A and B are shown apart, each in its own frame.
Chain A
Amino acid sequence: MTDTAAPLLRGLAVTLELTAAAGALSVLIALAAGLARASHRRWLSWPAAIYVETFRGTSALVQLFWFYFVLPFFGVALTPFAAGVMVLALNTGAYGSEVVRGALAAVPSGQREAASALNLGGTRTLWRILLPQALPAMLPPAGNLAIELLKNTALVSLITITELTFTAQLLRAERLHSAEIFTMVLALYFAVALCITAGMRALERRASRGLERGAAR
């Protein structure tokens, strides 16, 4: 039992690393793409729209294989881990950008007008007025995306990264206790998902403090 648990926990650590790295990167991508797509400048909004539609319209696994098998032919050889993090972040970021765009659009237009009446610049309006008010609306869908990201990390086992699912495959080939191994793996994923949900709830409460809209709970 313990000799099964140890490798699985090492695999879990890699899964968590992947989730954290891709998650952090995808927040940046989502903000950039969401803002670019909402922009009035076509040279910003068009590339953002193409990126978002491409990554939302194709399968995550196809994207992963494209980055892993096809990019080397164009002279870009990524390590499996780098390809994994890139694809997971780009995929999650594409969905996240729609969350950012939707939440920003839901901030009443009076807020923008008031900011410009107070002579605040564009950047300042965005960071001090719009984003803090849009944040509470972004967090619940962001929590769902975080769970989706965690689940998608299992895909990178197919490009030989030794994370939780790949470890399970190795153990299965070695010991043949498929039912026990995969039950444990499912339970571990579920436990991590519960932790993410709890963490996001806490963040939601924190972000909606002092705001009337989308108040706590």
Chain B
Amino acid sequence: MIFDWGYAWDILPQLGRALVVTLQATALGMALALALGLVFALARRSRYRVVAWPAAAVVEFVRSTPLLVQMFFLFYVLPVAGAQMSPLATGVIALGIHYAAYCSEVYRAGLEAVPRGQWEAAAALNLGRWRTLRAIVLPQAIPPVVPALGNYLVAMFKDTPLLSAITVVELLQTAKLIGSETFRYVEPITLVGALFLVLSLISAAAIRWTEQRLRLET
């Protein structure tokens, strides 16, 4: 059995439509991860132990357990708890929480790299803590860690096939469906692999480019 290019060409539009779902899940998941990750990072730095300690525990727990199991947990437990939502929404939440834990570590590194003097100078200027954070510290903390966050964007993109396990018809699930209809698995699954490879390599190049730009600016 060899690779049938004509057949591969025929199924490409179908895979293209599925790719849209994959990209949607990635974009929404990353938006959630970026926002929630910052909350985790700030909570972990809090002066109050009742805030800092649970945040640290949650981050460690989420980072040490499989995304697939977290996804199943949300998929089966949320409806019982009274929160009905689509499989895609559940998957986006799972991706968002999982990668928020990773992003929070990146933010933390960025926040720690801002010199203490910045906080002190802001206090001397009588800026409030919240304003200092928003106007002084975050604008200095976040740009240097953008490439690291970008790496997690690529990692999340590569984790979206897990959504197929909770019945979301994304790229991999579509390939499997095509395969089970036509009994030809070679072309659909190989194409999915190739699509992931091409998009990952492009994103990696984009991240390197941003990294160089940032280095030039500083």
Which one of B69, B185, B189 contacts A165 once the chains associate, using CB atoms below 8 Å?
A: B69
Q: Are B197 and A57 in contact (CB under 8 A)?
A: yes
Q: Are B73 and A183 in contact (CB under 8 A)?
A: yes
- Evaluate whether A58 and B68 lie within 8 angstroms (CB atoms) in the complex, with A172-B76, A190-B61 already known: no
Say yes or no for B82: interface residue by CB 8 A criterion.
Answer: no
Give the chain A neighbours of B164 by CB distance below 8 A: 61
Q: Are B66 and A189 in contact (CB under 8 A)?
A: yes
- Evaluate whether A168 and B176 lie within 8 angstroms (CB atoms) in the complex, with A66-B190, A70-B186 already known: no
Q: Taking CB as reference atom, which chain B residue is nearest A65?
A: B189
Q: Are A60 and B158 in contact (CB under 8 A)?
A: yes
Q: Are B72 and A182 in contact (CB under 8 A)?
A: yes
Q: Are B201 and A154 in contact (CB under 8 A)?
A: no
Q: Interface readout for B35-74 with A: 1 if CB under 8 Å, 0 if not?
A: 0000000000000000000000000010111111110110
Say yes or no for B125: interface residue by CB 8 A criterion.
Answer: no
Shortest distance between the CB of B178 and any CB in chain A (Å)? 11
Give the chain B neighbours of A73 by CB distance below 8 A: 1, 185-186
Say yes or no for A20: interface residue by CB 8 A criterion.
Answer: no
Say yes or no for B192: interface residue by CB 8 A criterion.
Answer: yes
Q: Are B69 and A59 in contact (CB under 8 A)?
A: no
Say yes or no for B77: interface residue by CB 8 A criterion.
Answer: yes
Say yes or no for B172: interface residue by CB 8 A criterion.
Answer: yes
Q: Looking at chain B's contact residues, is the secondary structure mostly helix, strand, loop, or mixed?
A: helix
Shortest distance between the CB of B172 and any CB in chain A (Å)? 6
- List residues of B (165-191) whose CB comes within 8 Å of A's CBs: 165, 172, 175-176, 179, 185-186, 189-190
Say yes or no for A74: interface residue by CB 8 A criterion.
Answer: yes
Q: Are A151 and B193 in contact (CB under 8 A)?
A: no
A157 to B69, CA, bound (A): 10
Which one of B69, B160, B185, B190 contacts A154 once the chains associate, using CB atoms below 8 Å?
A: B69
Sample 9 A-B pairs with CB under 8 A, ordered by A number. Answer: A57-B201, A61-B162, A62-B161, A62-B172, A73-B1, A151-B65, A157-B68, A165-B72, A168-B72
Say yes or no for A185: interface residue by CB 8 A criterion.
Answer: yes
Q: Are B66 and A58 in contact (CB under 8 A)?
A: no
Say yes or no for A53: interface residue by CB 8 A criterion.
Answer: yes
Residues of B within 8 A of A (CB): 1, 61, 63-70, 72-73, 76-77, 80, 158-162, 164-165, 172, 175-176, 179, 185-186, 189-190, 192-193, 196-197, 200-201, 204
- Evaluate whether A59 and B172 lie within 8 angstroms (CB atoms) in the complex, with A69-B185, A154-B66 already known: yes
A165 to B76, CA, bound (A): 14
- Evaluate whether A65 and B76 lie within 8 angstroms (CB atoms) in the complex, with A70-B185, A73-B1 already known: no
A108 to B14, CA, bound (A): 52
Q: Are B185 and A182 in contact (CB under 8 A)?
A: no
Say yes or no for A45: interface residue by CB 8 A criterion.
Answer: no
Q: Are A169 and B72 in contact (CB under 8 A)?
A: yes
Give the chain A neighbours of B1 by CB distance below 8 A: 73-74
Which one of A66, A154, A182 contacts B77 once the chains associate, using CB atoms below 8 Å?
A: A182
Shortest distance between the CB of B205 and any CB in chain A (Å)? 11
A59 to B170, CA, bound (A): 13
Apart from the given pairs A70-B185, A70-B189, A179-B76, 6 other A-B contacts in the complex at a CB distance below 8 Å: A57-B196, A58-B200, A59-B196, A158-B165, A168-B69, A178-B77
Q: Are B80 and A179 in contact (CB under 8 A)?
A: yes
- List residues of A (10-33) whose CB comes within 8 Å of B's CBs: none
